[in-house]
């Protein structure tokens, strides 16, 4: 009984223990890579569109050794075009940087190219977001027409019943709510404008 109990205690302590190595792996570091302009923009645009920090997105792309190794194994099949590149410094966790360096050495491919093809995995994400953006713009156009009709109806109601009539008051509340929501949708669409520009960057 005591051994079993002690065993549970040991397991519990092991689960709750914090290692210095693990904590250091979470430290933020800076690393500079030479990347094509559209790859740099791709990471930033997707992070902004999804509402997450660029560091968090970068870490998700490279911190899993197994996934990164599979990405690296496909590198020989990818056409490595000679594109104009520039240096860009990113913030990432030390663990991510260590995994990136290790996999690049093991697979014998340039670290910068490994970063490039890792970020390219975001292309399906931005393609999907671009389609949503187009649909949002269409919906916003319909909402503007709906709001216009609502305001027209409100003016008619106030003319016939007066501004303080209960129907006028309720209708004004509906129109005001619709106008506020339309404004929020307009802001969302404006935030997505960068994705429209990304099409030109890829071409």
Query: For the CA atoms of 12, 14, 15, 20, what is the dihedral angle to 10 degrees?
Result: 150
Among the listed residues 19, 3, 45, 67, the one whose alpha carbon sits nearest the alpha carbon of residue 130:
45
Which residue is listed with tokens 């292309």? 123
CB neighbours (10 Å) of residue 131? 11
pLDDT in the model for residue 112? 94
List CB contacts of 59: < 8 A, sequence separation 6 or more.
Answer: 92, 93, 95, 96
With 0.85 as the threshold, say if the pTM is over it. Answer: no
Please list the pLDDT of the chain residue by residue as tens digits (203 residues).
Answer: 445 455 555 444 444 555 555 545 568 999 999 999 999 999 999 999 999 999 999 999 999 999 999 999 988 766 566 678 999 999 999 999 999 999 999 999 999 999 999 999 999 999 999 999 999 999 999 999 999 999 999 999 999 999 999 999 999 999 999 999 999 999 999 988 888 878 545 44
The fold for domain 27-124 equals Arc Repressor Mutant (1.10.1220)
Q: From the CA atom positions of the chain, what is the Rg in Å?
A: 26
Domain boundaries, the chain: 27-124, 129-202
CA dist., res. 42 & res. 32, Å (int) = 17
Q: What is the three-class DSSP state of 90?
A: strand
φ, ψ at 103 (rounded to 5°): -65, -40
Contact indicator for 62, 115 with CB cutoff of 8 Å:
yes
List CB contacts of 25: < 8 A, sequence separation 6 or more.
Answer: 93, 94, 95, 98
């Amino acid at each position: 009984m005591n051994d079993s109990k002690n065993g549970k205690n040991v397991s519990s302590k092991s689960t709750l223990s914090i290692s210095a190595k693990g904590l250091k792996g979470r430290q933020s570091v800076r690393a500079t890579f030479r990347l094509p302009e559209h790859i740099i923009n791709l990471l930033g645009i997707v992070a902004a569109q999804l509402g997450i920090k660029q560091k968090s997105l970068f870490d998700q792309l490279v911190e899993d050794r197994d996934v990164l190794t599979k990405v690296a194994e496909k590198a020989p099949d990818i056409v490595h075009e000679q594109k104009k590149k520039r240096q860009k410094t990113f913030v990432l966790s030390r663990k991510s940087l260590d995994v990136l360096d290790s996999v690049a050495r093991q697979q014998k491919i340039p670290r910068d190219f490994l970063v490039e093809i890792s970020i390219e995995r975001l292309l399906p994400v931005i393609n999907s977001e671009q389609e949503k953006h187009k649909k949002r713009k269409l919906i916003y156009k319909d909402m503007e027409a709906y709001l216009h009709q609502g305001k027209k109806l409100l003016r008619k109601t106030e003319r016939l019943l007066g501004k303080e009539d209960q129907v006028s008051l309720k209708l004004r509340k509906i129109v005001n709510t619709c106008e506020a929501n339309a404004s929020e949708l307009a802001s969302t669409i404006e935030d997505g404008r960068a994705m429209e520009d990304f099409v030109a960057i890829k071409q």
